[in-house]
A and B are shown apart, each in its own frame.
Chain A
Amino acid sequence: MVGVLPPPSLFSKHLRKHSLMKHRTFFWFFFPTGMAMLLFIALPILSVVTQSLFTPHEAVLVTVETCTPFKCTEETAIDQEATAAIRAAEPLGRFVGLDIYFDRGHLAIIEVSEAWRARVSFADFLSKLNNLPFYRAIAFTLAFTFIVTPLVILMGLVIALAVNTLHAKLKGIVIFFSLLPFVITPLIGALVLFWMIDSRGILGNALQWLAGDPTLSLKASTGLMWISLMVYGVWHAAPFAFVIFYAGLQTLPMDQLEAAQIDGASRFQRLRYVIVPHLMPLVTFVALIQLMDNFRVFEPIVGFNASAHASSLSWAIFNDLGGETQQLSSAAATSVITIIGVAILLSPVLVRTWRDHKRKA
């Protein structure tokens, strides 16, 4: 296209006018999207960051007589009038800076440095780290992300290649059934698997029989629970990768494939040097989405009742908000850390995409 256009200097006046028009068009074109991004992305993040820097005021406690059906006792309660006055004066609460980020429920600066100083060995330090809720959550979150994501891509590719070789009449029905795990609501899918792997469930029972150990239970040990959760992760997301790759396979360059075949390329070589490079942009896309999704792993932990064995950043947020006394500041701090985590995780992929884009331009 560039070659067809006359040199820009000749038409600079015209071009300037034209580009002005374009800016205007672009502005109105982008305006709704921009507003939506501001409203639904920027403002919530701003609000979460603010929330994480403030905590509720110090509670004003009073002792009052409390009567229940059982008896009357002297109990501590919050002095509502005094609290209302403090709240009216400073509605945001106490400004605590980064205190919440550094407390035991999050980065646990004091506990970590103490564990480091008192360490007997590095393993001892790691086990002490694993005793802190945030590090336990991050350990599982990262393990889940970096084990499930590649497996999902691999499984998706294998299924897509397999389905692509099927007879046209079979394809429709096979695609429909392969998609089911992804169609099911994640929580429901997790519950389905949870009951199947129960020691009295069909899969749990089969495993006991296979292992010859009638006391084997996937839910009773941390290692097996982790594996079960990751199996769920792959089972749930592989169809997503499959559909993307399957769509990519429909656009395969047939002439290249044929040429490769004539040159004597084996089946594997065709896969390695023609098909996979052709699908590479899609692999990047799936990896990007999966990294984000898996970093926010949540549903299987709830569905599997697995909080004794595994927790994640998202689960920690849910836990802060789900107790009888909600911890909004704590949840907000974990949310900000999650956002930062997603940004770090995606940065290599984003940088690469941007470089590719620049090179092509």
Chain B
Amino acid sequence: MFFRKIALAASITALMSTSAIACEVNARVSIVGNEFPAIQSVGAGAQACSGAEITTNLTADHQKINLPGMQGNPAEYTSAIVANSSIVALMNEDVIRPLDDLVAKHGQALKKNQLITIDGKVMAVAFMANAQHLVYRADVLEKIGVEPPKTYEEMLAAAKMIRDQGLMENPVGGAYAAGWNLAQEFNNMFLGMGGSHFKPGTAEPNINTEAGVKTLEMMKALSGYMNPDFLTHDSNATNAEFRAGNVAIMNMWGSRAATLVTADGVPQDVVDGFAIAGPMTVGGGDTPASTLWWDGWTVAKNISDEEAEATFIAMMNGISPAMMESEEIRTQAVWLIDGYTPTDAAIGVFAAAGMNTIPYPMLPYMGLLHTALGNELADFMKGTESAEQALKDVEAAYIAAAKEKGFL
């Protein structure tokens, strides 16, 4: 561990010293974003610029503060690091600025697929891709003599074998915490079942369908092999269960899987058995039961042109191809940055992209449906309500919210 920390410190120092020469800004830069290793690297890269004050506020609560922090004039944050779900809230309120002029001036290092273009205008610059995919214990699957599951049905069968043979009591892991996580697992499975969240071209919900019911039934079946507390387990708690050796198969974020077993105190058999594969399909479909994500940065609208330019320059430094020389940083994510060569940790996300996983919908009203799913599905998962009733409740809760926000 000690040597790894020294190596990390050295690589960051090297990074800062190399980029400090090139990067010079002349106005305030203030960044808000989520908090995981890859984003911390981007923030550190941006802060390596000199000439003006560059601050970062990287927190898991970024979604609650980025919008209020950009609505003022001048905006508190000159840049928000977002994903395909969270850019929608900023677009809805019109607080981010088109970047075409700045891309032309300072964006030579960008590849075309990094530009998030909406209605012909570049609204964000993506730097990494993400997806949920299978993470498993190769040693445990070997013991029961099965291949890593390619479908959720195979996952269930494997879970049964692991339990029946007394290897683990609750071999399936899942971030099924009521709220955002549970809703996201529903989204994954629902898309895998061939569902689509809205009636085409409208904001009318379309989840109380056969695909919706089948989705819930599969989630319920899986939860039978999970820790009984699954409704309180978010990704962090699920990862802890895997690290502790209590879980053998789970669907996990690529951005978290990469560093899953590098924590202190993980038993050696977990470290040795840890393996990654692509996302699973479900119900005989071809579409993986997962969603594709990108993470990128935006520039606030309510700031001066100097600040916007300084922010763009600093953020470009935060995603500079020079960073890809560090093995430590390359492992943190599936980078879209020029010069990135995939590490072993990236195969899950690459497989997801290769299998035509559907990107998380970038619709103005998707956030409301996500919230409604997170609140109303718990009753079904607890067993106090039928699948049809739960889906009916989700639609009703969504419709009330969508009416309030003027979408219906």
Is A184 in the interface zone, CB < 8 Å from B?
no
Partner of A104, one of B64, B361, B384, B397: B397
Q: How many A-B residue pairs have CB under 8 A?
A: 168
Bound CA–CA A57/B403 (angstroms): 10
B232 to chain A: which residues have CB within 8 Å?
Answer: 219, 304-306, 308
A94–B228 CB distance below 8 A: no
A131 to chain B: which residues have CB within 8 Å?
Answer: 379, 385, 389, 393
B294 to chain A: which residues have CB within 8 Å?
Answer: 68-70
B116–A68 CB distance below 8 A: yes
B364–A78 CB distance below 8 A: yes
Is A65 in the interface zone, CB < 8 Å from B?
yes
B384 to chain A: which residues have CB within 8 Å?
Answer: 222
A59–B405 CB distance below 8 A: yes
Is B330 in the interface zone, CB < 8 Å from A?
no
B367–A323 CB distance below 8 A: yes
Stretch of B149-157, B252-260, B262-270, B370-378 with 4 or more beta carbons under 8 angstroms from chain A? B370-378
A80 to chain B: which residues have CB within 8 Å?
Answer: 94
Bound CA–CA A272/B67 (angstroms): 57
Interface code A298-311, partner B: CB below 8 Å = 1, 0 otherwise? 00000011111100
Is A343 in the interface zone, CB < 8 Å from B?
no
Nearest chain-B residue to A72 (Cβ)? B117
A104–B396 CB distance below 8 A: yes
Interface code A50-67, partner B: CB below 8 Å = 1, 0 otherwise? 000001111101111111
Is B113 in the interface zone, CB < 8 Å from A?
yes
With A55-B404, A199-B227, A199-B229: A308-B382 Cβ-Cβ less than 8 Å: yes
Is B141 in the interface zone, CB < 8 Å from A?
no
Measured CB to CB, the closest approach of chain B to A197, in angstroms, equals: 10
B228–A217 CB distance below 8 A: yes
Bound CA–CA A304/B229 (angstroms): 11
Nearest chain-A residue to B401 (Cβ)? A327
B117–A66 CB distance below 8 A: yes
A198–B229 CB distance below 8 A: yes
Nearest chain-B residue to A62 (Cβ)? B119
B400–A103 CB distance below 8 A: yes
Partner of B364, one of A65, A76, A100: A76
Partner of A69, one of B129, B203, B389, B405: B129
A150 to chain B: which residues have CB within 8 Å?
Answer: none
With A55-B405, A131-B393, A217-B229: A322-B114 Cβ-Cβ less than 8 Å: no
With A70-B292, A104-B396, A199-B229: A325-B359 Cβ-Cβ less than 8 Å: no
Interface code A308-326, partner B: CB below 8 Å = 1, 0 otherwise? 1100000000010111111
Nearest chain-A residue to B112 (Cβ)? A67
A70–B91 CB distance below 8 A: no
A308–B178 CB distance below 8 A: yes
Is A77 in the interface zone, CB < 8 Å from B?
yes
B368–A100 CB distance below 8 A: no
Bound CA–CA A217/B231 (angstroms): 12
B126 to chain A: which residues have CB within 8 Å?
Answer: 68-69
Bound CA–CA A57/B405 (angstroms): 7
B393 to chain A: which residues have CB within 8 Å?
Answer: 131
Q: How many residues belonging to B are interface residues under a CB distance threshold of 8 Å?
A: 67
B178–A307 CB distance below 8 A: yes
Q: Which residues 253-307 of A sit at the B interface, judged by CB distance below 8 A?
A: 304-307
Nearest chain-A residue to B377 (Cβ)? A308
Pick from A57, A71, A219 the residue with the most CB of B within 10 Å. Answer: A219
Measured CB to CB, the closest approach of chain B to A170, in angstroms, equals: 39
B227 to chain A: which residues have CB within 8 Å?
Answer: 199
With A56-B406, A308-B381, A308-B382: A325-B365 Cβ-Cβ less than 8 Å: yes
Nearest chain-B residue to A80 (Cβ)? B94
Q: Which residues 293-314 of B sit at the A interface, judged by CB distance below 8 A?
A: 294
Q: How many residues belonging to A are interface residues under a CB distance threshold of 8 Å?
A: 55
A133 to chain B: which residues have CB within 8 Å?
Answer: 375, 397
A329–B229 CB distance below 8 A: no
B362 to chain A: which residues have CB within 8 Å?
Answer: 66, 68, 75, 77
Partner of A324, one of B94, B231, B370, B375: B370
A84 to chain B: which residues have CB within 8 Å?
Answer: 94
Is B89 in the interface zone, CB < 8 Å from A?
yes
Is B187 in the interface zone, CB < 8 Å from A?
no
Bound CA–CA A61/B92 (angstroms): 10
Partner of A58, one of B292, B363, B371, B406: B406
B94 to chain A: which residues have CB within 8 Å?
Answer: 78, 80, 83-84
Nearest chain-A residue to B128 (Cβ)? A69
B116 to chain A: which residues have CB within 8 Å?
Answer: 66-69
B203 to chain A: which residues have CB within 8 Å?
Answer: 61, 76
Is B286 in the interface zone, CB < 8 Å from A?
no
A71 to chain B: which residues have CB within 8 Å?
Answer: 359
Is A141 in the interface zone, CB < 8 Å from B?
no
Measured CB to CB, the closest approach of chain A to B404, in angstroms, equals: 5
Measured CB to CB, the closest approach of chain B to A307, in angstroms, equals: 5
With A323-B367, A324-B85, A327-B401: A305-B117 Cβ-Cβ less than 8 Å: no
Bound CA–CA A41/B44 (angstroms): 42
Nearest chain-A residue to B237 (Cβ)? A305
Is A215 in the interface zone, CB < 8 Å from B?
yes
Measured CB to CB, the closest approach of chain A to B397, in angstroms, equals: 6
A217 to chain B: which residues have CB within 8 Å?
Answer: 228-229
Bound CA–CA A65/B113 (angstroms): 14
Nearest chain-B residue to A323 (Cβ)? B371
B113–A69 CB distance below 8 A: yes
Measured CB to CB, the closest approach of chain A to B403, in angstroms, equals: 7
Q: Can you give 17 contacting A-B residue pairs, CB < 8 Å?
A: A56-B404, A57-B406, A65-B118, A68-B359, A69-B129, A70-B294, A76-B363, A77-B364, A103-B400, A104-B397, A105-B400, A111-B396, A131-B389, A307-B378, A322-B64, A324-B370, A327-B368
Q: Given contacts A55-B405, A222-B384, A330-B404, list 14 more A-B pairs with CB under 8 A.
A: A56-B406, A59-B406, A61-B407, A67-B116, A67-B118, A70-B129, A75-B361, A75-B362, A104-B399, A105-B400, A308-B382, A324-B366, A327-B401, A327-B405
